[in-house]
C-alpha cells in the first residue's frame, strides 16, 4: 500500500521536540470547571488523531502487472492501494501557542464560504491559545504593498463574517515574487500561514513552503482549497461548490420561465467552469430544466447535421422552448482566441455564452423560424453568495483541520474531504492538473439522460 508522505517541520528540524496539546476537545462548563458531559478527567483529551491514522483514497486495479507501478500488495502485482492521512487534532503539537503569530491570506476569485473558513481558523487558533492572528489584505499582494496594513483578527472581529459572502480580507490576482513574500513573513514574524485559494494560490503556497525550508524557517504553510469549480484532484468536493450549484438553479429557473413564457423562447445560461464542467453538469442534473448542457471536457459542433443548432430547431418544433447551460470554458475552439492573460497568468477565455446567443439568433433568422433568445450570466451573483448550510459545515471542518494540521507541525499541506473523511494532502499531489468531468463517467451519462441531448459531433 502506498501512502502520501506529508511534509513535516521535523524534516528540517530533526531535533525539535513536541509539546502536549492544549487544544480542548470538550468544553469545560464555566461554573464547575468539570467537563460538561461528565466524562472522567482522564478521558478529557479523548478524540485525538494519531499521525498513523489514515483513510483509503483509492484502490486501483491494473490490467497488467507492468502498469501497476512500484508499490503493490498483490503477488500478481495488479492492484494498488493509496492512503491519505486523517486530519484532526494531535495529542502532541509542534508550536507553543504563545510563540505563534498566524496569518491568513485569500487569493484568486471569490467563492462562497471564504469568510466561514477565515472565521473558523481564527476561532480554532484562539482555542489553542494563540493571540497573535492577522489577515493579509488583498491576497499575496498584501505582503508587499506598503499601502496595505495587516488586519488584526479575533473571535470578536470574525463573529458574524460568515453571514455575508466575499472575503473579509479581500482577494487579488497577480503576486510579488515568492522570496519577497517570505521576506515579508520574516519581518512580520509569521510562523503559521493559512492560504485560501485555488490551483494558482496553492502553487504559490507550496513555493512559500519550499522557500521557508530553504531558509530554515520554522514556518508551517497550510492551504485550504478554494475552487468553486470543484476542480481539485482527489477530493470529494471543495467548499462553495454546493452553494454555487444551488444558486445556479435560480438563474436556470429564470431562464426557463423566460423561455417558456415567450413564443419560441430560448434561454442560454453561462456558468462557471474554466476547464471543468462540474457546476454546469450538477446544476443541469439538479434543475431538470436544461435541454442542452455543454462542458469543456466534451467537444461539440454548433452547425451541421449533428450540431447544437439543429437540435435546438428540433426542440422548438417539438416542445416550443429550450434552455441551454454552458460552462465558461466550453467550446473554446468556437470563439476567437485573444492570447490575453490575467494578472496571475491565466488565459482570458473567449465568451462562449455570447457567441452561442449570436449564433442561435443568426441561425433561426436564416431558416426563417422566429426565436426569442435570452442570455443570462449569473457568475458574479453566484460567486458573491454566502455559503449554504452544507458548505457552512464543510468550511467549519476544513478551517478547524487547517489549524490542527499547522499545530501538528505539517507544512506544505492542504485540507480536504476524501471518501467522506477529512484528510491532509501534500499540496503537489492535488494541483498537478485540474480535476475534470470524465465524459465516460456514469454521472455525465446521467446528465445526458436527464437533458435528452444527443452527441453534438
Active centre residues (catalytic): 229
Q: Residue 173 binds which entry of ligand ATP, Mg ion, none, with Cβ cut-offs from 5 to 8 Å by kind? A: ligand ATP
How many residues contact ligand ATP, by CB under 6 A?
19
Q: Which is nearer to ligand ATP, 123 or 248 (CB)?
A: 248
With CB under 5 A as the contact rule, the residue among 97, 200, 273, 350 that binds Mg ion is 200
Which cell goes with 283?
A: 446544476
Which cell goes with 191?
A: 510562523
Please count the residues of the chain.
Answer: 457
Q: Grid cell 502520501 — which residue?
A: 4
Judge contact between 84 and 5, C-beta under 8 A: no
With CB under 5 A as the contact rule, the residue among 88, 170, 198, 277 that binds Mg ion is 198
Shortest distance (Å) from residue 407 CB to ligand ATP: 24
- Separation CA 356–CA 424 (nearest Å): 41
- Give the phi and the psi of residue 296 in degrees, each rounded to 5: -60, -30
- Separation CA 190–CA 132 (nearest Å): 9
Full 3-state SS string of 58-98 = EEEECCCHHHHCCCCCCCCCCEEEEEEEECCCCCEECCCHH
Shortest distance (Å) from residue 142 CB to ligand ATP: 10
Asked if 200 is part of the footprint of ligand ATP (rule: CB under 6 A), the reply reads yes
DSSP type of residue 237: -
Shortest distance (Å) from residue 279 CB to ligand ATP: 12
Letters for 209-248 (x = contact with ligand ATP by CB under 6 A, - = none) are: ------------------x---------------------
With CB under 6 A as the contact rule, the residue among 23, 95, 140, 424 that binds ligand ATP is 140
Q: Which is nearer to ligand ATP, 340 or 457 (CB)?
A: 340
Asked if 173 is part of the footprint of ligand ATP (rule: CB under 6 A), the reply reads yes
- Interface with ligand ATP in residues 44-103 (CB under 6 A): none
Which cell goes with 55?
A: 483513510
Asked if 434 is part of the footprint of ligand ATP (rule: CB under 6 A), the reply reads no
Q: Which is nearer to Mg ion, 200 or 240 (CB)?
A: 200
- Separation CA 455–CA 457 (nearest Å): 6
Shortest distance (Å) from residue 383 CB to ligand ATP: 9
- Separation CA 344–CA 172 (nearest Å): 9
DSSP type of residue 18: P
Residues 6+ apart with CB under 8 A from 55: 83, 84, 85, 86, 418, 419, 421, 423
Which cell goes with 135?
A: 489577515
Asked if 331 is part of the footprint of ligand ATP (rule: CB under 6 A), the reply reads no
- Interface with ligand ATP in residues 110-139 (CB under 6 A): 139
Asked if 207 is part of the footprint of ligand ATP (rule: CB under 6 A), the reply reads yes
DSSP states of 136-164: ESSGGGGGT-TT---EE--HHHHTTGGGS
Q: Which is nearer to ligand ATP, 80 or 107 (CB)?
A: 107
Asked if 225 is part of the footprint of Mg ion (rule: CB under 5 A), the reply reads no
Asked if 310 is part of the footprint of ligand ATP (rule: CB under 6 A), the reply reads no
Please, what is the end-to-end C-alpha distance for the chain in angstroms?
Answer: 42
Sites of contact with ligand ATP (CB under 6 A): 107-109, 139-140, 173-175, 197-201, 203-204, 207, 227, 344, 346
Residues in contact with Mg ion by CB under 5 A are 198-200
Amino acid at each position: 500500500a502506498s501512502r502520501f508522505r506529508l511534509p513535516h517541520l521535523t524534516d528540517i528540524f530533526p531535533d525539535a521536540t513536541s509539546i502536549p496539546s492544549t487544544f480542548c476537545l470538550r468544553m469545560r462548563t464555566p461554573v464547575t470547571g468539570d467537563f460538561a458531559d461528565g466524562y472522567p478527567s482522564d478521558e478529557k483529551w479523548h478524540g485525538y488523531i494519531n499521525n498513523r491514522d489514515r483513510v483509503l483514497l483509492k484502490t486501483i486495479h491494473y490490467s497488467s502487472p507492468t502498469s501497476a507501478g512500484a508499490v503493490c500488495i498483490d503477488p500478481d502485482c495488479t492492484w494498488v492501494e493509496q492512503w491519505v492521512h486523517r486530519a484532526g487534532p494531535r495529542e502532541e503539537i509542534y508550536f507553543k501557542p504563545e510563540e505563534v503569530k498566524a496569518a491568513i491570506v485569500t487569493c484568486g476569485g471569490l467563492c462562497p464560504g471564504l469568510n466561514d473558513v477565515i472565521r473558523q481558523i481564527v476561532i480554532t487558533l484562539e482555542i489553542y491559545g494563540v493571540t497573535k492572528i492577522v489577515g493579509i489584505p488583498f491576497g499575496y499582494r498584501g505582503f508587499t504593498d506598503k499601502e496595505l496594513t495587516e488586519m488584526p483578527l479575533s473571535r470578536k472581529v470574525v463573529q458574524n463574517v460568515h453571514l455575508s459572502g466575499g472575503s473579509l480580507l479581500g482577494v487579488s490576482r497577480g503576486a510579488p515574487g515568492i522570496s519577497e513574500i517570505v521576506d515579508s513573513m520574516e519581518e512580520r514574524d509569521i510562523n503559521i500561514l493559512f492560504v485560501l485559494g485555488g490551483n494558482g494560490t496553492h502553487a504559490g503556497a507550496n513555493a512559500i513552503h519550499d522557500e521557508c525550508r530553504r531558509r530554515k524557517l520554522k514556518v508551517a504553510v497550510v492551504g485550504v482549497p478554494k475552487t468553486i469549480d470543484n476542480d481539485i484532484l482527489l477530493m470529494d468536493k471543495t467548499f462553495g461548490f454546493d452553494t454555487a450549484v444551488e444558486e445556479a438553479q435560480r438563474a436556470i429557473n429564470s431562464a426557463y420561465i423566460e423561455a417558456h413564457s415567450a413564443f419560441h423562447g430560448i434561454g442560454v445560461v453561462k456558468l462557471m467552469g474554466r476547464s471543468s464542467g462540474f457546476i454546469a453538469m450538477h446544476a443541469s442534473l439538479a434543475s431538470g430544466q436544461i435541454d442542452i448542457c455543454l462542458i469543456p471536457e466534451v467537444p461539440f459542433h454548433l452547425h451541421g447535421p449533428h450540431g447544437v443548432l439543429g437540435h435546438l430547431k428540433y426542440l422548438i418544433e417539438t416542445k416550443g422552448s429550450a434552455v441551454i447551460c454552458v460552462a465558461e470554458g466550453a467550446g473554446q475552439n468556437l470563439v476567437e482566441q485573444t492570447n490575453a492573460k490575467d494578472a496571475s497568468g491565466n488565459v482570458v477565455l473567449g465568451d462562449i455564452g455570447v457567441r452561442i446567443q449570436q449564433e442561435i439568433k443568426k441561425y433561426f433568422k436564416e431558416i426563417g423560424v422566429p426565436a426569442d433568445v435570452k442570455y443570462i450570466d449569473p457568475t458574479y451573483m453566484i460567486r458573491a453568495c454566502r455559503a449554504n448550510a452544507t458548505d457552512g459545515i464543510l468550511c467549519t471542518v476544513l478551517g478547524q483541520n487547517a489549524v490542527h494540521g499547522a499545530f501538528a507541525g505539517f507544512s506544505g499541506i492542504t485540507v480536504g474531504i476524501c471518501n467522506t473523511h477529512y484528510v491532509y494532502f501534500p499540496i503537489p499531489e492535488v494541483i498537478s492538473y485540474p480535476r475534470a468531468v470524465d465524459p465516460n463517467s456514469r454521472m455525465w451519462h446521467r446528465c445526458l439522460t436527464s437533458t435528452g441531448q444527443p452527441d453534438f459531433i
